[in-house]
Structure 1
Amino acid sequence: MNYQANSARYESMSYRRSGKSGVLLPAISLGLWKNFGGEVPFEQSRKMVLRAFDLGITHFDLANNYGPPYGSAEETFGHILKKDLLPYRDELLISTKAGYDMWPGPYGNWGSRKYLIASLDQSLKRMGLEYVDIFYSHRPDPHTPLEETMGALDYAVRSGKALYAGISNYRPEEAKEAISILRRLGTPCLVHQPRYSMIDRWIEDGLLDLLHEEGVGSIAFSPLGRGRLTNKYVLKLEAEESRSSELRLFTELSNFAGNRGQTLSQLALSWVLREGGVTSAIIGASHVSQIEENMQVLSQPPLTSEELTELDSILSHSHIG
Structure 2
Amino acid sequence: MNKPAEAENVRRLPPQANNRHNYRYRLAATALKDAPGRPMWSTGSDPKNIVVLHPHPGPCGRSAQRIREHAELNTEWTRRLQTVGFTVRPGRCGVVATCPLPPTRALVEPHGLAQDFTRKVTFTEYSVGGLLRLNPTYASADYAVLTPEGTLLRTVKQLDHGVQALAVYWGLPDEEVPVTYVARGQQGQPAVPQGPAAAPDLRPAAVTLLRTIAGLDTGAGVVFHAAPAGRWRLQGSTYAVNDRTFHPLESAGLLDVGDGDTDPVRITEAGRAWLDEHPEPAARRRPTATAAGN
- The TM-score, its normalising length taken from structure 2, stands at 0.25
* Structure number with larger C-alpha Rg: 2
Structure ranking higher on relative contact order (CA contacts 8 Å, 6+ apart): 1
Please state which structure has a larger fraction of its residues in strand: 2
